[in-house]
Structure formats: C-alpha cells, structure tokens
Amino acid sequence: NKQVILRDYVTGFPKESDLIFNDTTVDLRVPAGSKKIVVKNLFLSCDPYMRIRMGKPDPTAALAQAYNPGEPIYGFGVSEVIDSGHPDYEKGDLIWGIVGWEEYSVITPNPSHFKIQHTDVPLSYYTGLLGMAGMTAYAGFYEICSPKKGETVFVSAASGAVGQLVGQLAKIMGCYVVGSAGSNEKVDLLKNKFGFDEAFNYKEEQDLNAALKRCFREGIDIYFENVGGKMLDAVLLNMKLQGRIAVCGMISQYNLEEQEGVHNLATVIYKRVRMQGFVVSDYFDKYFKFLDFVIPYIREGKITYVEDVAQGLENGPSALIGLFHGKNVGKQLIAVARE
Ligand code: NDP
C-alpha cells in the first residue's frame, strides 16, 4: 500500500522533499465484528488548507489539527468500498470524504463521508465541483454574500476549484462578475469558458487598485476572498456602501511566518461593509440540497468545470505544492487508480 508521509512539520513554502513515500501491507478484509470499511482510493483532492495541517500544531488556530510527521497525510478523496463491516456500506459503493493519501484506506465512516449516487457525471467531480470545493462556493456565495440580481461581484483565485464555481453561480444570479488569476491562460478561461464579464492577471498589474477601478467603475458589492494580502487591501478601497466580503481563504498568507498587515481595514466602517469568514464543514448538512441544485445545471451544460489531473500517487506531492505557485489550471486532483 503506497502512502505519502509527512517527513516533518513544514515552515515557509512546502517542498516536495517534505513528503516522502512509504510502502506497507494492508489487510483488504475488515476483521469480523468491526464497523470499519476498506476502500480503494480512486481520486485524491489537493487543497490549500492541507498546507496549514503540514505546519506545527497551533492550538490558537481554528484548524488546529496538524498532520503527524511519519504518518500518511489525509484529505478529501473519491473511493470505492472493497470490504465493509458497516451496515450502511457494501462492496462496490462509491464514496467521497476524508481518506489517507494512500492506495487503500481503512476508515470508520463518519457524517462527512458521503455515498455517491449520481454517476452520470465524472467521478472526479466529487473531489471538487460536487465535493468540498463546490460546497464552499455554494455556501459562501448564497449564505455569506447575500447576493442580489444586478450586483457587482469580484472573485480572487477565480479560475481555481472554488472560484470557477462562484463566478458561474454569480452569473446565474444575474450579477456582473470579475475574476483575478495569475496567468493569461487562466484569464482566458475566466472570460471564455466560465462566462466572467471581465478578468485580469494580477501578476501583470502594477496597481491592483487601478485594475479594480477599471473593472468596477461604481465599486464592488460582493468580494469572494480567496487570497488575502495586497488583493484584500486593494479591494477594501473599492467596496460599495453596504458591501459584503465572504472570507473563504487567504492563500497568499499560508506560507508566511508572519501574516502581512492589512492597511485599509477602516474602510469597512465608513462603507458599512460586512466581512464574514466561514468554514465549509459547518454547511455539510446542506450537501444534498446543493446536489439537487447543481446537478441539473451540469447536465444541461450550464455549469462547467475545469480540472487539472496529476496521474498517480507519485505525482501527488508536486501537484499539492503546485497550488502555492499557481501551477494548477482549475481544480487540482490526483488520479490514483481506476475503478
Ligand atoms: P485553487 O484551486 O484556487 O488553487 C490555489 C490557487 O491560489 C493557485 O492556483 C493560485 O492561482 C492562487 N495562489 C497561490 N498562491 C497565491 C498567492 N500568493 N497570491 C495570490 N494567489 C495565489 O484553490 P481552491 O479553490 O481549492 O481554494 C481557494 C481558496 O479557498 C483558498 O484560500 C482555500 O484555502 C480556500 N478554501 C476555504 C474553505 C473554507 O471552508 N473556508 C474551503 C475550501 C477552500 P493564481 O494562478 O490565480 O494565482
């Protein structure tokens, strides 16, 4: 059973050498009387929060649970049940939820493991669009942003796993939507595949404030925050009165020893801006409502999704680390095995 192990706690940018491979044997049969299940991992999801778990445990952080050095890392994946001692699961079931970064995992199912019912869509979508990232976009946009038709919406890291869906949801709502991304290829995707009204490559802009003013002459009603840092500071100068900022993530800060200061925060007072963080797992009870909403749009081709698929567990570490260098184009995942 090939596994990806955390070598030691990480400081600064993660490197491929922080993750090492191990090969062990695993019993593919559940012992009699156990309620565990054995799964074969088909796809694994690469997610930015995994970097936070690679750092030293920090009891003051919300995401305090760190990976243990010497043990396999874990994250969201799509898996097939190959043996089950659990009454709700049987051999052949497909599930998504937390599993180890390994070929086979022995798990105790919990409420955040979901059985996959719709298989007429790509199975890999359950690592992203129909999994944790999709739920993040859905909960963040509808529950936190309080969107209204005709409002102006800005999304950062807009071509990524979460951002590409937020933009499409905002278009469905009838909003004017602008995205930022880190390459011209991604900007092209935003405008020509996901239907954003405008997009810019933030790495090529001398002045982010000027770029935002160019795209939002009257200001921003909703900012879906994925990156933090300088982008947040520039956005704060462009928020409209009573605007909303959904703080989903701040990837520009995850590898810094000390977080960058935000200079323009006082504008939230005068502009009466509501800025609210959220964590997707608080909304998992809405997962089936989300599926009922999103699946018809996918079937009709009204919502599309771009994935970046690394082949084989051996390419997992570079795929995960690539997130912090913007190497992924769309949702980054790993194809570990075929069904
Ligand atoms: P993405 O698929 O968007 O991948 C990460 C992207 O972030 C990269 O491709 C890169 O795109 C961009 N990026 C990397 N480093 C920087 C940097 N220093 N400054 C600006 N942009 C950078 O990831 P996800 O869609 O999975 O996640 C997006 C955000 O949502 C993250 O902050 C993540 O932590 C957060 N999140 C929060 C959840 C919650 O419950 N609150 C749940 C899931 C995700 P580019 O080339 O455009 O720079």
The answer to whether 28 and 82 have CB atoms below 8 angstroms apart is yes
- pLDDT at position 65 is 83
Tell me whether residue 161 is exposed, middle or buried, using C-beta atoms within 10 angstroms of its C-beta: 0 to 12, 13 to 18, 19 or more.
buried
**CA 249 / ligand 1 centre spacing (Å):** 7
pLDDT of residue 199: 98
Contact at 8 Å (CB) between 86 and 78? no
Q: Is 280 in the pocket of ligand 1 (CB under 6 A)?
A: yes
Ligand 1 close to Cβ of residue 228 (< 6 A): no
List helix spans (H) across the chain: 49-54, 132-138, 163-172, 184-192, 208-215, 230-236, 267-270, 287-299, 316-322
The answer, yes or no, to whether any atom of ligand 1 lies below 6 A from the CB of 319, is no
For ligand 1, is residue 323 a contact (CB within 6 Å)?
yes
Distance CA 261, CA 243 (A): 22
| Ligand 1 closest atom vs CA 139 | 40
Q: What is the pLDDT of residue 246?
A: 98
**Residue in 180, 200, 226 to alter for ligand 1 test, most ligand atoms within 8 A of Cβ:** 226
**Quick count: other Cβ atoms within 10 Å of Cβ 16?**
12
Strand partners, 277: 247
255 Cβ inside 6 Å of ligand 1: no
Local confidence pLDDT in tens for the 339 residues of the chain: 999 999 999 999 999 999 999 999 999 999 989 999 999 999 999 999 999 999 998 877 766 689 999 999 999 999 999 999 999 999 999 999 999 999 999 999 998 899 999 999 999 999 999 999 999 999 999 999 999 999 999 999 999 999 999 999 999 999 999 999 999 999 999 999 999 999 999 999 999 999 999 999 999 999 999 999 999 999 999 999 999 999 999 999 999 989 899 999 999 999 999 999 999 999 999 999 999 999 999 999 999 999 999 999 999 999 999 999 999 999 999 999 976
Report which protein residue has its CA nearest ligand 1's atom 36. 249
Full 3-state SS string of 5-58: EECCCCCCCCCHHHEEEEECCCCCCCCCCCCCEEEEEEEEECCCHHHHHHCCCC
> For ligand 1, is residue 142 a contact (CB within 6 Å)?
no
CA–CA distance, 37 with 250 (Å, rounded to integer): 35
Q: Is the CB of 163 under 6 A from ligand 1?
A: yes
Residue 84 · residue 91 · CB < 8 Å: yes
Place of tokens 């404030």: 209
pLDDT for the residue 324: 98
Q: Which pLDDT does position 234 carry in this prediction?
A: 98
Distance in angstroms (rounded) separating the CA atoms of residues 249 and 1 = 33
Q: Is 136 in the pocket of ligand 1 (CB under 6 A)?
A: yes
What pLDDT does 46 receive?
98
pLDDT tens figures, 283-332: 999 999 999 999 999 999 999 999 999 999 999 999 999 999 999 999 99
Q: Is 166 helix (H, G, I), strand (E, B) or coil?
A: helix
The residue to mutate among 54, 162, 169, 187, having the most atoms of ligand 1 within 8 angstroms of its beta carbon, is: 162
Residue appearing with tokens 């009891």: 59
**Residues 247, 136: Cα–Cα separation, whole Å:** 11
CA 35 to ligand 1 center in whole angstroms: 36
Judge contact between 321 and 334, C-beta under 8 A. Answer: no
The residue whose CA is least distant from atom 38 of ligand 1 is 248
The answer to whether the CB of 108 falls within 8 A of the CB of 98 is no
Give the residues across from 2 on adjacent strands: 23
List, for residues 29-62, the tens digit of each pLDDT value: 999 899 999 999 999 999 999 999 999 988 777 6
Ligand 1 in reach of 46 Cβ (< 6 A): no
Residue 226 Cα to ligand 1 middle (Å): 6
Name all domains of the chain by residue range, CATH numbers in brackets: 2-128+305-335 (3.90.180.10), 133-281 (3.40.50.720)
Cβ of 321 less than 6 Å from ligand 1 = no
CA Rg, the chain, in Å?
Answer: 20
Q: How far, in whole angstroms, is CA 334 from its chain's centroid?
A: 14
